[in-house]
Amino acid sequence: MANTTVIGALAIHGQNPQFLVETVIRNRIYESNYWKEHCFALTAESLIDKAIEMRYIGGVYGNQRPTQFLCLVLKLLQIQPEKEILVEYLRADEFKYLRALAAFYIRMTFRAVDVYELLEPLLKDYGKLRLRDMSGYSLTYMDEFVYSLLTEERVCDIILPRLAKRQVLEENGDIGPRKSRLLDALEEVSVLPGEKAEGGVPFGAVERHRMLDPDMCQGVVRDRGLVQDLLSVHAVVASRPTGWK
C-alpha cells in the first residue's frame, strides 16, 4: 500500500523505520497532497528526479505543513534503499538537495561510525541551501547543515537518533582520528621554519584563529569543519608546547 513500509525492510534502531518520524508529523505527511500525488510508488531511481526538483530543505512550515524534503525523507525510510545507493546520492555533488536528503537519511539510519565517515567529508561542501521553517525562508550552507546533523538532536523538526560521541568511538578504536585539513597546512608551515606562521595557513584561518573560543565561534565562523580543526590544533599545541613553533 501507499503508506506501508516495504516488505523485508530491516528494523532500524529496533523499530519500523517510518517510526523515526514522530506520529504527528508522519500523519501530516500522509495527509499532504505532495505525498499522495508525487510520492506514490517512488523507487530509489525515480526519487532522484523529485529530489532534484526540491527548492528548499526544512521541517514543517505554516500550518504545520510538511516540506517536500520531509516527505522524501519519509519515502526513503519507507523504501529503505541499499547503502551503496545512498553513497551514490551523496557523491552527486551538483545536486545539493539530493545530497542534503541523503545526508539526513544517513544520519537517521546508519551506525555512528558510518555516519561520521560519510558525513564528515561534507563539512568541506560550502554550497548554499535554502531552509524553510515556521518563520519563513532563510539561508544556510551544506557544512552548517551537516554540522547540525552531527551535533544537534533536533534538525528539520525531527528528533534524530542518538549518536555516539566521536571521542568515544576513537577511544574504542572504531574510527581513526579525524583528518584535519588545517593540521596538514600547519605541518607544511612547520617544515618551513624561516617563514612566518601565517604564511602557509589557508582560507584566512589566522583571522579565525583569533576567535578560537568556541562560544565566540558560534555564529561568527561559518566553517564548522574548520572550527573543529582549530579546536583540535589548540589541543595539539597545548600538549606539545616546546616541539611546535
Partner 1 sequence: MADKSGAYGSKASDTDFRKTWDKEEYAERAKKKDQEEKERMQENEERMKQGKRPRKGRRDDLPKPTELMKQREGPLELEKNLGKTMVVQNLSGKGPGQPGFHCETCNRTYKDSVGYLDHINSRAHLRALGQTTKLERSTLAQVQARIAYLREKTKEASSAKAFDFKQRLAEVKAKEVALREQRKAVKRIEKEKARLELIKDTGMNEDGDMAQLMGFGGFGSSKK
- Binding stretches for partner 1 (CB under 8 A): 1-2, 4, 6-7, 33, 36-37, 40-46, 48-49, 52, 79, 81-82, 84-85, 88-89, 92, 94-95
Instruction: Specify the residue, 6 or 206, whose C-beta has the smaller distance to partner 1.
Output: 6
Tell me whether residue 43 or residue 64 sits nearer to partner 1 (CB atom).
43
Q: How far is the CB of 243 from partner 1 (least distance, A)?
A: 47
Beta bridge partners of 66: 60
CA proximity to 156, closest of 19, 25, 16, 11: 25
In the bound complex, what is the minimum distance in angstroms from residue 86's beta carbon to partner 1? Answer: 10
- Considering the complex, state which of residue 12 and residue 79 has its C-beta at the smaller distance from partner 1: 79
CB of 96 vs partner 1, minimal distance in Å: 12
Nearer to partner 1, 86 or 142 (CB): 86
Single out the residue of 81, 102, 78, 109 nearest to residue 2, CA to CA. 78
User: Whole-number minimum distance, CB 49 to partner 1, in Å?
Assistant: 7
Residue 80's SS3 state is coil
Q: Find out whether 76 and 42 touch, Cβ atoms under 8 Å.
A: no
Torsion sign over Cα 61, 66, 69, 73 = positive
End-to-end CA distance of the chain: 65
State how far the Cα of 22 lies from the Cα of 108, in Å rounded to an integer.
Answer: 13
Nearer to partner 1, 6 or 220 (CB): 6
Residue 223 beta carbon to partner 1: minimum distance, rounded to whole angstroms: 27
